[in-house]
Amino acid sequence: MTARILIIDDDVILAGLLQLTLELEGFEVDTAADGDEGLALVRQKPFDLILLDLVMPRMDGIKFLRLLNEGDAKRPPVMIVSSATGTELTEQHRAMGVVDIARKPVEPAMLVERARAALATGAAV
């Protein structure tokens, strides 16, 4: 079964590059330009992994994580991909479903490798 990944990032050029890279590796990929769009997509269909920027208009990544974690539904693991954070994965991150953090700029090949690792170890939480 093909893994489905959601990229939530307001940088449409980067999101497009990451989408193309992941699709060439066999993943099914959707994109959203902010947390509002991302939350709408998550409510429409299941995803196996979310790649999330933190600094975006309308709804930022932290608010997205809070809303994603409301309710009893299983949620996909999240990998933060942002220039607005360090690379230290804390207990607070883990409690919000974050399984990895990559600091921008991110090399596409490295992102594919880390996405595969996140998918292998970060089943829905």
pLDDT at 20 over 80: yes
Q: Taking the model in full, what pTM does it have? A: 0.89
Q: What are phi and psi of 78, to 5 degrees?
A: -120, 135
Residue ranges of domains in the chain, CATH in brackets: 4-121 (3.40.50.2300)
123: exposed, middle or buried (Cβ count in 10 Å: 0-12, 13-18, 19+): exposed
Q: How many CA atoms lie within 13 A of 76 on its CB side?
A: 26
Q: Write the CB contacts of 37 (distance below 8 Å, at least 6 apart in sequence).
A: 8
pLDDT at 125 over 50: no
pLDDT tens figures, 8-17 = 999 999 999 9
Q: Distance between terminal CA atoms of the chain?
A: 19
3-state SS, residue 45: coil
Q: Are 72 and 65 in contact (CB under 8 A)?
A: no
Q: Are 117 and 95 in contact (CB under 8 A)?
A: no
pLDDT tens figures, 41-74 = 999 999 999 999 988 888 888 888 898 888 656 7
